[in-house]
Homo-oligomer: A and B are copies of this chain.
Amino acid sequence: MSVDRPPATMTEIAAALGVSSATVSNALSGKGRVSAELSAKIRQAAEELGYVPSHAARALRTGRTGVIGLVLPDISNPLFPQIAQAIEQAAASAGFGVLIADSRGEIAQQTAAIGRLIERGVDGMIVVPRRGSRIADIGTPVAIIDSPSTPGNTVSSDHWDGGVQMGRHLASLGHRKVLLIAHSRESNVQNDRIGGLRAGLGKEVCCETLWVEDLEASKGAGCALGLSVRVADGFTGFAAVYDLLALRALTELQRDGIDVPLQASVSGFDDLVWSSVVMPPITTLRQDLATIAECAVEALGHAIADSEASAGDLIAARPDCEGVPMTLMVRQSTGPAAISVVSDAGNAREDGR
């Protein structure tokens, strides 16, 4: 590998071949008019001299940095790695770099982070908004990954349908009394999932939603969810709205001596890394983050290209991939419902199996 000779510039290539630097630029970008043979020679020379384009110079001249910003809410979200990975990959193959901005904490931080990105001259940004927050209209293309029910959303999983899938899965296992476990009422994603779950479970299933946020407000963060009481009450299914809550439910049930899935089923959303290695592995829904990332980057790319022409609209919209399907990962944390004392007689109606 060539040692650290400072990389060649277009001017140097031009000088080496006795042509003008404009010709080199044209040949390499394929834009102007250059004869095929000269173009080939230039390309070869560029290769040999180890030409590396100067992003700084290009950015200065064209006003485009080739970098997009990635703004994530509360970075502690365990899904972050997968999102970041997917976006980085999609962006890289579209020729973009990804600058991260953490918007930990309050919404003000999110705004500040966005500001920093703009100052750095990103061409656009992808934002996974904090629940309940709206992105102000900044003078830069933005793609938003949130939920189909969020106005301005660009691309996201079909959380509702995911809920439906899980609901059907649980219903088909015979569960007739299910506790839905969510955290925040403000989250569109969580609301979608809850709605889907209810729809998927159907009318015959009795279900109730436990908002952990409310519970923690009175009993303190990390408090017990009191699930064994629910089991005693006849609940056999516990459908959490994301894996972290599912894990919390699972361990609490296990600690209280309740067997999962024999006595109670537990399900989650997102398929986080550990979901498959705990005992029992958690039944959950996997988001197709690769597709989402591709859509987001593509939409953003279009918006960036368009913003050159018409400086009008600023939010990239792409309706055709607003609801990327999630896939159900059935594992061992869900199983046939235990014989419930509460369940009524007519349980054979519409048996899904």
Contacts and interface: CB of A to CB of B under 8 A. Distances in A.
B277 A222 contact: yes
17 contacts: A3-B139, A53-B119, A54-B121, A55-B119, A56-B59, A56-B60, A56-B121, A76-B273, A77-B81, A78-B274, A81-B81, A88-B100, A88-B102, A98-B99, A224-B279, A250-B251, A254-B254
A295 B66 CA distance: 29
Contact of A99 (B57, B60, B67, B259): B67
A321 interface: no
Q: Which 3 A-B pairs have CB atoms at the shortest separation, nearest pair first?
A: A254-B254, A56-B59, A4-B139
B67 A75 contact: no
A98 B100 contact: yes
A104 B119 contact: no
Copies of this protein, total: 2
A199 interface: no
Nearest to A212: B277
A24 interface: no
Interface string A243-259: 01001101110110101
Interface string A63-77: 001110010000111
Contact of A244 (B76, B102, B120, B273): B273
A65 to B, nearest CB: 7
Contact of A279 (B75, B92, B252): B252
Contacts of A277: 222, 244, 247-248
A62 to B, nearest CB: 9
A288 B258 CA distance: 37
Contacts of A54: 60, 121
Nearest to A273: B76
Contacts of A247: 247, 274, 277-278
Contacts of A259: 255
A70 B260 CA distance: 41
Interface size band for A: 35 or more
A280 B255 contact: yes
A116 interface: yes
Given A81-B81, A222-B276, A247-B274, A57 B55 contact: no
A58 to B, nearest CB: 8
B121 A92 contact: no
A281 interface: yes
Given A55-B121, A99-B99, A139-B4, A248 B279 contact: yes
Given A54-B60, A252-B279, 14 more contacts: A3-B139, A56-B56, A56-B121, A67-B99, A76-B273, A78-B78, A78-B81, A88-B102, A92-B116, A244-B274, A244-B277, A250-B251, A255-B260, A255-B279
A169 to B, nearest CB: 21
A89 interface: yes
Contacts of A75: 81-82, 84-85
Given A101-B88, A278-B248, A255 B255 contact: no
A84 B100 contact: yes
A97 interface: yes
Contacts of A53: 119
Contact of A4 (B76, B119, B311): B311
